[in-house]
Structure 1
Amino acid sequence: MGEIADTSRRGDAAFQEELSSALTDQTLHLILLPTEQCNFRCTYCYEDFAIGRMERETVEALKLLLNRRFADLQRLDIAWFGGEPLLAQAIVEEISAHVMTSVADRPEFQYQGDMTTNGYLLDVPTAEKLAGLGVTIYQISLDGPESVHDTTRVRSNGGASFQRIWQNLLAIRDSRLPVRILLRIHLTPENLPSMPEFLRQVRDTFLGDSRFSVSLKPVERMGGPNDETLEVLSKQARAEAVGQLEAVVRAGVPASRTPSGPDVCYAARPNSLVIRANGRIAKCTVALSDPSNDIGRLASDGTIHIDDARLTPWLRGWANGDWTAVGCPYVGMPRSASPLLQISAGPRRQART
């Protein structure tokens, strides 16, 4: 997420526009975790991999949830997350195919699939198959040149990952696939000296292709097991490094190809949900182990059960026009808990989810 400007600078009109987008019953944003297992063990990862592959009951429940909503929706966005979602590629394909079939006779319906993946399994045949099912946007992380990347983005068996990812990216670049790829480049004190040269290589290799873009992201302590020993850039060093390195990336590249983060976090939007591999419902993909992020569950009949007391703090920024709270509702969020309440499948109530 990008830095959040205060309301006085952005203005009430912009806030009201974002509020309308967040509240509409006609849009649904689902972040689906088909598995929470991963073939990587990145040194800064915050996930515990305690949950495995999505079971059949949850897959069917997701289809039923979508069936309940299709008639009232004009737009559906599905973001695939994990773990590594391509370890459960069959589930990604099954649900995506269900969406495509369900809206095939609605040319006005807007459907977009995207995926956060480490890129190790994203070869051209896989990307081609998923593109045919509406999954065309990817975020893939790199930690610098091979010698640095392979010390932090380590495979679960201890092996290297850079060359396989790089070759997949080159193959996609050389294809005509209708995809967009955001290369998320992580910044750490260790890799910073190698970044100018590496970013020039990334720029010259990929950014001549309009399907590719770059985002710079300093690594942070996010609650992972290595947080105590993880070295991160200070706030000042972060700002200086990003400013200098963005100039390297931007050289000769259109500004739209070096995107900044959105002002409003998906977790603040009432019409956005995270559905985990075990059917539990969350709002944020970072705070997966925080009880305040466990706001309900998906039932086998496709209805959802939500704890309103846990949901409300995620939405608090809309009530008082607080750009900071809608930019990252997890920061400064009050905690509370109450028994789970069932939400009916009616279109108006369902749209809160």
Structure 2
Amino acid sequence: MQPSPFNVSIRRGDKHYIFNTFSGKLLQISHKDSEALDQYCNGIEAQISPELLLKLVVYRMLVADGEEEYALLQKRYQSSQQNPRHYAATIVTSLGCNFDCPYCYEAKSPSILTKETQIAFLQLLDEKLPTLNSFSVTWFGGEPLLGKNALLALSDQFIHRCESANVDYSATLITNGYLLDEKTCLQLRERNVYRAQVGLDGPPEIHNRMRPLASGSGSGTFDRIIENLRHAVEYLKISIRVNIDRHNFARAEDLLKILEANGLSGKLMVYLGRLVSIDDGIPTPSAAYHSCCLTNQEFAQIESAFMDTARRYKFAESWLPKSVGTPCTAVRTNEIVLGSKGELYKCWDSVGNPLEVIGHISDYNNCNTRLQKWLKYNPFTDAECRSCFALPVCMGGCAHYAMNPSHYDNRCDTFRYNHRERILAYIEAQEQKAASG
């Protein structure tokens, strides 16, 4: 037996911890057992209990052959990539937006999801339903609530069709939050939208600069979003994404204080998102945003410190990453991104980019060759990914970045860089929970 290539070892005082990214298990052992385990793995006779050895094997921390672990991971990747029992769609109800963010990666246009596109997608769904166990939708934009009528109408159709076919249906919303009034929250909840991501990039003076109204109104957007959040948390599971760069990351705690003052502690989650300058050959605001962006490693350390702070304000919980089959929609065969005019994409980052269109909903069985670049993505052919302990929790990370030489280093999950801090934070949280009974 030998140590798994996916073990992460952490020492804390006289205790030794092993976290395995494949199994997702965390095991505490004594310093004495740790030394005995090292001897055992080096072929030296050691006093190690059969019970501990069994647990190490069950948790995949000791394996017969490291290469077998990669073979199992690859098999799971292929199974997840080709899963025929689940279908997922990201649907752009409006490529237009009421915000004018200077870092946006989309080339927006004021287009609402057409009726023809809705009918064609329902025909596609009807074809798939007999083979499905579940169907999920992410409502996306632009700003999806600008296309709320289409969102609600399609949702009603999805619910009716899925109930008739005995297929589970659920949905998530990605929104700037400006139009998330209480009536809309109720309408969404009634249509199986249980989660929403809302963007807030700092306290008012920061957020209003980074996420202004497209109309040019000087009133700002922050106060209205906060007002909406007060009732939204009663209907939806809300997560706040704080997009950060070199200029605003230091003000993130100020945002937490404002959320706390508005009675939102413990009612929603807050996390950081890293702004990345993307230039995919079309004119977008993001292409000129490069001077402000943090590197992945810089962001990982800021993220770790922020999560400690967010936990103090009750806007985050300590958790360890789970092993995944595939990283995202882009590489899975049974998932698609539907544009407002019926154009099809594989990646969220491609929305609005005619250079990345893989086909059209009116002829969805005949996609062009661009589809294959996504479906052929394979992290196991990347030597750096294969040698990384974090491979099971990211499975190659962002395929869009991985296939772009100038963004290759951005593909990785931050766990690769801040794993020690995150594991220790989880251990401390568990100890505090145990101490408090």
Cα shift at 1:168: 0.3
**TM-score when scaled to structure 2?**
0.67
Cα shift at 1:95: 0.8
The partner residue of 2:137 within 71, 78, 88 is 78
Q: Distance in 2 between matches of 1:6 and 1:310?
A: 33
Q: How does 1:114-133 map to 2 (within 5 A)?
A: 114-133=172-191
SS in 2 for 1:264: coil
**Which residue of structure 2 aligns with residue 343 of structure 1?**
none
Cα shift at 1:259: 8.7
Q: Determine if the alignment matches structure 1 residue 40 to structure 2 residue 103.
A: no
Q: How does 1:1-353 map to 2 (within 5 A)?
A: 10=22, 11-12=69-70, 13-50=72-109, 52-106=111-165, 109-159=167-217, 160-173=220-233, 175=234, 177=235, 179-202=236-259, 205-209=263-267, 212-223=268-279, 224-225=284-285, 227-229=287-289, 231-251=292-312, 253=314, 256=317, 264-288=327-351, 290=353, 293-299=356-362, 303-307=364-368, 309-318=369-378, 320=380, 326-333=396-403
**Structure 1 residues not aligned, in runs of 5+:** 336-353
Number of residue pairs matched by the alignment? 322
Counterpart of 2:250 in structure 1: which amino acid?
Answer: P
SS in 2 for 1:166: helix
Contact residue 279 and residue 297 of structure 1 kept, 8 A: yes
Q: Distance in 2 between matches of 1:134 and 1:66?
A: 17
Listed one character per residue, the Cα deviations across residues 85-126 of structure 1 (whole Å, up to 9, x for unaligned) are 1101010011110011112245x5221111111110111110
Contact residue 250 and residue 258 of structure 1 kept, 8 A: no
Listed one character per residue, the Cα deviations across residues 117-145 of structure 1 (whole Å, up to 9, x for unaligned) are 11101111101111111112111111000
Contact residue 95 and residue 111 of structure 2 kept, 8 A: yes
Question: Which has the higher mean CA deviation after the structures are superposed, 38-47 or 193-202?
Answer: 193-202
Q: Distance in 2 between matches of 1:84 and 1:172?
A: 17
Contact residue 213 and residue 258 of structure 1 kept, 8 A: no
Counterpart of 1:213 in structure 2: which amino acid?
Answer: M
Distance 1:82 1:260, change over 3 A: farther
Distance 1:217 1:197, change over 3 A: same
Question: Identity percentage over the alignment?
Answer: 25
SS in 2 for 1:270: coil
**Which of these two proteins has the greater Rg computed from alpha carbons?**
2
Q: Distance in 1 between matches of 2:349 and 2:264?
A: 29
Distance 1:279 1:87, change over 3 A: same
- Comparing both structures, which one devotes a greater share of its residues to helix? 2
SS in 1 for 2:285: coil
SS in 2 for 1:103: helix
Cα shift at 1:217: 1.0
SS in 2 for 1:81: strand
**Structure 2 residues not aligned, in runs of 5+:** 8-19, 23-68, 383-390, 406-437
Cα shift at 1:200: 4.1
Contact residue 74 and residue 380 of structure 2 kept, 8 A: no
Q: How big is the alpha-carbon RMSD for the aligned residues of Structure 1 and Structure 2?
A: 3.0
Bigger relative contact order, structure 1 or 2, given CA contacts below 8 A and separation 6+?
1
Cα shift at 1:155: 0.6
Distance 1:201 1:333, change over 3 A: same
Cα shift at 1:18: 4.1
Question: Which has the higher mean CA deviation after the structures are superposed, 49-58 or 219-228?
Answer: 219-228
**TM-score when scaled to structure 1?**
0.81
Counterpart of 2:199 in structure 1: which amino acid?
Answer: S
Cα shift at 1:39: 0.6
Contact residue 93 and residue 144 of structure 2 kept, 8 A: yes
Cα shift at 1:146: 0.7
Counterpart of 1:240 in structure 2: which amino acid?
Answer: Q
Counterpart of 1:167 in structure 2: which amino acid?
Answer: E
